[in-house]
Structure formats: C-alpha cells, structure tokens
Structure 1
Amino acid sequence: MTVFVRFAPSPTGYLHIGNLRPALFNWLFAQRRGGRFLLRYDDTDRERSKTEYAEAIAEDLAWIGIRPDAVARQSDRLSHYDAAADLLRDSGALYPCYETAEELERMRKRRMGRGLPPVYGREALRLTAEDRLRLEAEGLRPHWRFRLPNFASDPLKPERTDVHWDDVVRGRQTVDLASLSDPVLIREDGTYLYTFCSVVDDGEMGITHVLRGDDHVTNTGVQIAIFEALGHAVPAFGHFNLLTTIDGEGLSKRTGALSLRSLRDDGLEPMAVASLAVLTGLSGSIEAMSDLTALEARLDFNHVSASSSKFDPAELHRLNAELVHAMPYAAVSDRLRDLGVPDDRAEEFWMAVRRNCERVRDAEAWRDIVFGAAIEKPPLKEDDLAFAREAFDLLPECPWDAGTWKLWTERLKAATGRKGRALFMPLRLALTGLEHGPELADLLPLIGPERAAGRRP
C-alpha cells in the first residue's frame, strides 16, 4: 500500500505556524514512507475563501520546502458531495431537521435539567411527511443530520456504541457514539460542512492516513461511521497535540498571528520555522534542523506529548541565529549580492560576519561598516585618542591579509606597552564604531588600507 496523506487548509487567511505543524507532520510522514502528499483546499465557504489566500498557501508551503504531489479543491467536487448525500438520504442515514438555533438551545437545557446528556434527541425523526411539508410551507428550510449508528432497532433509543481505532500517535482510542449528537452535514442553505466533505474526499481519493490535531479525536468516531455508511475504506488516523503560545492561547488565521508570510518578511529562515513547528512538544531539545530530511529523522510519533505544546515565539530567533551562524556562503550568495556586497569579497565577508548576524539581512549593516566610506564613531577618551592616532600612524604596509591584524597589534604592544582590551577596544571603535563584532583579524583585510587610513581619529 502506498501511503497517501493530505493537508486540507481553508483559504480564508494566511497560514500560521500552527497550521504548518499538521502540514509538516503529513509531509514528513509521507516522505519517510515513500508516499504521496495531497494539498486539498477546503474552499466550500464561498464568502470567506479567496483565491489570493490559496495562492499564498501554496507559496508558503513551497518556502518551507513542501511540494505537493497533487492539488485538489473542494469547490470543484460539489457533484461528488451531492451524490454522497443522495446515497445517505436513500439509506435513511441522512434526515431533515427544522429546529432553529434558539429551539435547539432550549431543547439542550431541558435535557440537562432532566439529567440527560445535552445531545440532540432526534426529535425530527418523529415528524411525518405532512409535518415536513407544513414546516417548509411556513418558510423553514431543513438542515440535514447524519443518523449515528448507535441503536439496536429504534433510533429514538440510542445505546452505548463504541468506535475503536488504533491511533498512529495516541494508541488505542474509543469514542461512544451514544454520547454525541447526530452531526449536521448540510446547512439550511444547502452548503456542506467540512466533516462531510472531508470524508467523501478521503474515501474517494484513497487517503490512507489522516494525521491532524487532537481537537478532532471525537470527530473521528463520527467520521468513521460516515466512511462505513458510504462504503469507503476507513483510513488510519493519527492525532497530535496542537501548538499554542506560551500563555496557552491558540493561533488563528484571522488574527494573522505568526503567519508564515510575516515570519518570512521578518527575515526568518524556513527551517527555523519548520524546526519549531515540529519539535515543540516532542521529547528532546528544540534545535535548528538543517533541512527537512534532518527534521524527518527527528520526528517520532511515539515521542509526541499528550498535552498542548506551548512554544515561545522568541525561540524562532534563537533557531534562526543557529542556522545563520552555520550557513555556507553558497547558500547566501544571491542574497548578499542583493544586499550590495561586492562579489569579489563576498565569501570572505560572509565568513567573517555570519556569526554576528541573527538574520542574513543583518549583513547589510556590516556591509556598510566594512565597505562604507565613512562610519559613525563614538568619541574616544583622551588617552585612547592619543593611542589610536599613534596606532594608525603604525598601520602595516600593503598587501593586507589574515596576518595583518597580528602584525599590527604586536607592533603596537612593543611601541606603547598596551595590551588586551586597552589595546583592542580603541582600535575596534575607530575601525567599526562599535564595541562588539566580528574578529578584527577578519575585518581588517576587508576594510583595507585606504578605508582604514580614512578612519584615523
């Protein structure tokens, strides 16, 4: 059996790091097993679904490194849902209901007052054909519920009916269908709910594994019943913990919180984002993985926490810095060119400054310091000023190379008796205008004799 998984986002906003978690869990699962990955847009919400969001989802996934083997849109499959709904109606498993939201709330409270579970009591099954005609003549349009198979012979007398599955992540799971309301699959306006469309798509497309957040565990019991009612093979299910912020708040596409687009615009590397999305809530430390193959090796569903995974967005910057500090020149050459770093010194420059960059674009500031005609310099103390002027009078002869800094400082030690910070700091301030930065032995040849001489205090 070839593994076939899917990621089914709604194109109603930009993907955030919480959405990326199920996308990556599915992608990495398929990659490890030589399987296939489907990007399926849940775009049946006609008002909120936007083409620009669908395009953004594809772009964001590509930025991370996820390239689907197939793409589908639920809006193209309405005829499939119509046929499946007709099949369920004909079997009696899908029945019309006419209660308003207010009536349902009153019914729920009455059941709770009688000590009964607050589930739908299937009152609509008592309606006759004449009752339905009368209600529709009054202007009511039905919504349609799926009758759960939780009874022996009389649907008005539900009894405990356990649905079991061996969850890929959580192990053996059980849901009692008698504890649930019959789910609404079709709204009053005739549009289909995600629960129904998802089952039809998964069954008809041959999805083998449904891997998703643990907020769907109870829903899985319902969906297994719908799979069986439609005659489809039931896929394997796996439910993993959801990402929340460190204060326990969930993430929402509507707020734009930590969207992949905003993280990319902020200069973060895709593997910093991917590493945090996957490794939060897994055993072991959260480290910056170099690529998706390395991340795949770390993903073990047996080590996924059972509780929500709280993450600190500040961790993204730590992970990003780890990646940038180890990034080879070949990986950033194009970006350095875009930043205006001279091609003939770009590799030498990057190797000198990368450990002082949290983002690749931070190299722009070092470009100005190294190659700029002038820099802002803080005033030196009187004794440091005199020392620095003497030091610049003793600059080594050309050509300059990796040994020039040592030659210069040894010369200054002999001439002035200064050493350590007293020697290095005035020179760093004069050459770069900063108290901290890359090794001056690496920067000095890049600054060069002419620019260095021009920075004499």
Structure 2
Amino acid sequence: MTTTRFAPSPTGYIHIGNLRTALMNYLIARKAGGTFILRIDDTDPERSKEEYVDGIKSDLEWLGLHWDRIERQSERLDRYQAAADSLREMGRFYEAFETPTELDLKRKKQLNMGKPPVYDRAALALTDAEKETLRAERGDGVWRFKLDRERIEWRDGILGDISIDAASVSDPVLIRGDGQVLYTIASVVDDTEMGVTNVVRGSDHVTNTATQIQIIEALGGKVPAFAHHSLLTGPQGEALSKRLGTLALRDLRAQGIEPMALLSLMARLGSSDAVELRSDMAELIDGFDIERFGSAPTKFDVDDLFPLTARHLASLPLAAVQEAVVEAGVPDEKAAQFWDVTRQNISTLKDLGPWWEMMRDGAVPQIDAEDAAFVKEAMALLPDGPFDDQTWGAWTSAVKEATGRKGRGLFMPLRKALTGQAHGPDMSALMPLLQVVKARG
C-alpha cells in the first residue's frame, strides 16, 4: 500500500513552503487509496512547542488535509537508540569530538588545498584511552554514520536520475553530544518502521537523501521512492526564505484566502499544467501527477491567491457562506438577495461587511465637480424608498429625459453618488438593498 507522510517540526507555524510538501504527499496517498501520516518531528525538546503542534493540526484541518494517523518522534526515542546500537555493532557509527572551531579550521584548510570540505574521519584513529580523555575534557562527542564512499544513485520522481559521490559528503552526525537524536536517523527509522513508500520534500534535501539511503540500507530497510520539488521564490525570483514568516498559513487565512484557492494554486505551481481553480478535493486528487513538476525554482506570488479566492466564492451557494453573511450583520430575510448581489464583487468574505454597511447606512457620495449639478438634479427625481428592481431603470430613464445625459455620462455619476464606488453589482439588483441614500443631501 502507498504510504506517505508530512513531518513538520513544531518549532513554528506551517508556511507556504511546508504546505507544498504536505499537499504533494497527501495527494499521492489519496490518489493511490493509501495512507497519509502526520508525523510530528519533535526530538528537539527546547524548540518544540505544543502550541505549534496544535497550530499545525488546525492549519491542516482548515485545508481539508486529513491524516489517517498521527505519530510523534518524542514517543519513539527508544527506537532510534536501538537503531544507533545496531549501527555501532556493525561498525558504521563512531564518536567524534571536534569542536565547531576545529571543524571550521579543517574545512578552510581543505578548501585552500582545493579539496572538498569533507570531514576527515580523524576520530576513527582515536584509541579508547584518547576517547576517555576527550570525554573528560569536552563531554560526550557526536555520533557520525560512516558512509561507504561510493556513488549513491536513485531515480527521483521529479529530478530524474540522481548520482552523488559519497566521498564528497561528510559522514553525517546522527546524535549530538547532548544525546539529542537528529532528523537524519529519526526519519530513516520512522519511514522504515511505518512502511513509508513515497517521500516528497524540497530539493534542499537531495544530499541528505543520499546519506539516508545508505542508512536505510545499512539497517535493512526498503528505500522509498523519493521526489524533490523545487524551492519557492518570490514573484521576481528573490529568495522566499526570509519572507516565510509573513506567509504562514494562519496569516493567509486571516487575510481571507480560501482553502480551495490556495490548494488549487499549490497543486499546480511549478508543474507543466496551468493553474486551474478546482471545486473540491476530489478534482485536485484526480488531476495530480508528481512527474509533471519541474526542477527550476518556482515563483510564488501571494497576490495570485486573491483572484482565485474571488472566483471560488462566486461559485458558492448561500449555505456555504451563511456564517460570514450573518457575521456581516445581514438580516436573515435579506441574506439570499444580499449574497446574489455581492458574490461577484468581493475578493474575500471580509468584503461582505463593508458592502452591508454601505447598503444599511448609505455610502459617502463620490461626486466629481463637473457632475455636481447633474447629480443634484437627478437626486431630486429619485423616488422615496423602499426601492425595488424596477427603480433604477425607471429613475435613470427619467433623469435621461430631464437632463439629456446618456450612456456612461448618465450611469457612472449616479452609481458613484449612491455607492461611493465606480464599480460594483448591477444597480437594478442593488437598489432594493439600499436603505439610506446620503447623496440626497
């Protein structure tokens, strides 16, 4: 069975980059009728916070990315220690004691000699007595996995054939000196024991994947099918990493972005398929193909989400937005009429409140100087309310006959006088909802 996972660290809220990874893994699992695991990578006790765990769950539920089961790495520490013991027994795990300063000096020396800055495995030459002395002086060392220095190859679901020379990569640290288990081994153990068959993640993990393949094979696991998606940039190609804090899903949600607009964009962004607004998750699942994504950096512009949100909202029945209409203050008896009038004229549901305020309290008239006399004359011809769907047509006909104005010169000044805006709903449909007309003076 196809099994995928989304494995966020609860050290912050989900941002747009995380979403791409989550969505791809979710769609692969659902399309195959498989299992989608939410795995909380909380092995860092200092930075992991429960509020972020709750935030991650809340964001995924808002999007409709429902997991089949949830796992927490903090509850599996014994499994990682067992894997570490196995690696020690087979001679693939060794303790190293260099300080960060010493490692930095080694890297600089290698670079000056024209060599790749790879850890030199000096720790392998230490005697037991030397190790005891170093532990007494510096505390416990880090534990590194000893790579087989050969080429590591796999067929990537997005990047194609990948080949990395392990001799050009440092033996990865899997356990820190303070005993904290790092992602590299924890992820391998989890993927293996949970039967993960497909892993999609960012292209910044390619080298990490190479080392993990060797760890998986050393522990007797089955290597999943890997795919590495491109990284997102800003709309001008600029690095997005520094802006991700402002692109947290909770912030987009607060701005009124609709889940289906966000999912429709992210399910196609960076692929050879055009972005198309989908009506539901089933359409997203059916149209998803990981092999149609490319390796080039992918431009993301948050402004693209607003027209998609507007189009999505315009397609919804009143029942789907009833709560937002009520929150805007619209009486029940006017809700259906109000939604029919405004649905094509909002970017987000946040726009409903201002529309109802304008209808209920009247708009601040926008009257150009050259139209002041015309509007005054026209307002004298406006009948007393309540208005109906015939009011606009009858009134503008009377104004046209009295003033000789027609076309845009007739309609635009009157729209701006009644609504304070140059654009908006059909005035015949809007008039019955207008309760106050401030332009009367």
TM-score by length of 2: 0.93
**Alpha-carbon distance in 2 for matches of 1:252, 1:425:** 45
**Alpha-carbon distance in 1 for matches of 2:290, 2:160:** 10
SS at match of 1:256: helix
**Alpha-carbon distance in 2 for matches of 1:183, 1:272:** 40
Change beyond 3 A, Cα 1:16–1:211? same
In the alignment, residue 83 of structure 1 is paired with which amino acid? A
**Alpha-carbon distance in 2 for matches of 1:143, 1:101:** 11
The one-character-per-residue Cα deviations of 1:18-53 (angstroms, maximum 9, x if unpaired) are 110000001111111111111101111111110000
**Alpha-carbon distance in 2 for matches of 1:209, 1:179:** 26
2:440 paired with 1:456: yes
In the alignment, residue 127 of structure 2 is paired with which amino acid? T
Report the Cα offset of residue 284 of structure 1. 3.5
Q: How does 1:40-79 map to 2 (within 5 A)?
A: 40-79=39-78
User: Which of 245, 254, 259 does residue 256 from structure 1 map onto?
Assistant: 245
**Alpha-carbon distance in 2 for matches of 1:121, 1:273:** 46
Give unpaired runs (5+ residues) of structure 2. none
Match of 2:381 in 1: 391
Match of 1:20 in 2: 19
User: Which of 313, 316, 325 does residue 327 from structure 1 map onto?
Assistant: 316
**Alpha-carbon distance in 1 for matches of 2:131, 2:425:** 79
In the alignment, residue 117 of structure 1 is paired with which amino acid? P
**Alpha-carbon distance in 1 for matches of 2:190, 2:52:** 21
SS at match of 1:352: helix
Give unpaired runs (5+ residues) of structure 1. 151-160
Q: Which moved more, 1:92-101 or 1:278-287?
A: 278-287
Asked if structure 2 preserves the Cα contact closer than 8 Å seen for 1:16 and 1:252, the reply is no
Match of 2:395 in 1: 408
Asked if structure 2 preserves the Cα contact closer than 8 Å seen for 1:388 and 1:456, the reply is no
**Alpha-carbon distance in 2 for matches of 1:273, 1:143:** 42
**Alpha-carbon distance in 2 for matches of 1:310, 1:429:** 38
The one-character-per-residue Cα deviations of 1:155-204 (angstroms, maximum 9, x if unpaired) are xxxxxx12222222222222221221111101111111101100011111
Report the Cα offset of residue 455 of structure 1. 5.5
2:423 paired with 1:439: no
Match of 2:108 in 1: 109
Report the Cα offset of residue 116 of structure 1. 3.1
In the alignment, residue 444 of structure 1 is paired with which amino acid? M
Match of 1:157 in 2: none
Match of 1:376 in 2: 364
SS at match of 2:155: strand
Report the Cα offset of residue 382 of structure 1. 4.5
Q: Which moved more, 1:322-331 or 1:93-102?
A: 322-331
Match of 2:254 in 1: 265
**Alpha-carbon distance in 2 for matches of 1:456, 1:287:** 45
Change beyond 3 A, Cα 1:318–1:385? closer
**Alpha-carbon distance in 2 for matches of 1:68, 1:50:** 20
Asked if structure 1 preserves the Cα contact closer than 8 Å seen for 2:260 and 2:280, the reply is yes
The one-character-per-residue Cα deviations of 1:293-330 (angstroms, maximum 9, x if unpaired) are 33334432222121111212221223222223333322
The one-character-per-residue Cα deviations of 1:357-401 (angstroms, maximum 9, x if unpaired) are 1111201111012222x43224574431342134214x6x97x54
Q: How does 1:176-187 map to 2 (within 5 A)?
A: 176-187=165-176
Asked if structure 2 preserves the Cα contact closer than 8 Å seen for 1:175 and 1:221, the reply is yes
Q: How does 1:75-90 map to 2 (within 5 A)?
A: 75-90=74-89
User: Which of 282, 291, 307 does residue 302 from structure 1 map onto?
Assistant: 291
Q: Which moved more, 1:270-279 or 1:201-210?
A: 270-279
In the alignment, residue 72 of structure 1 is paired with which amino acid? E
SS at match of 1:257: helix
Report the Cα offset of residue 125 of structure 1. 1.0
Q: Which moved more, 1:90-99 or 1:302-311?
A: 302-311
Q: Which moved more, 1:436-445 or 1:409-418?
A: 409-418
**Alpha-carbon distance in 2 for matches of 1:436, 1:114:** 68
SS at match of 2:245: coil
Work out the percentage of aligned pairs sharing the same amino acid.
46
SS at match of 2:343: helix
2:152 paired with 1:163: yes
SS at match of 1:185: strand
**Alpha-carbon distance in 2 for matches of 1:411, 1:300:** 59
SS at match of 2:38: strand
**Alpha-carbon distance in 1 for matches of 2:265, 2:124:** 49
Structural RMSD (CA): 2.1
Asked if structure 1 preserves the Cα contact closer than 8 Å seen for 2:367 and 2:413, the reply is no
Q: How does 1:199-210 map to 2 (within 5 A)?
A: 199-210=188-199
Report the Cα offset of residue 75 of structure 1. 0.6
In the alignment, residue 15 of structure 2 is paired with which amino acid? H
Report the Cα offset of residue 60 of structure 1. 0.5
In the alignment, residue 24 of structure 1 is paired with which amino acid? L
2:93 paired with 1:94: yes
Q: Which moved more, 1:237-246 or 1:378-387?
A: 378-387
Change beyond 3 A, Cα 1:105–1:389? closer
Match of 1:149 in 2: 148
Q: Which moved more, 1:47-56 or 1:344-353?
A: 344-353
Asked if structure 2 preserves the Cα contact closer than 8 Å seen for 1:18 and 1:277, the reply is no
TM-score by length of 1: 0.90
2:329 paired with 1:340: yes
Report the Cα offset of residue 423 of structure 1. 2.6
Match of 1:292 in 2: 281
Match of 2:266 in 1: 277
Asked if structure 2 preserves the Cα contact closer than 8 Å seen for 1:17 and 1:273, the reply is no
Report the Cα offset of residue 141 of structure 1. 1.8
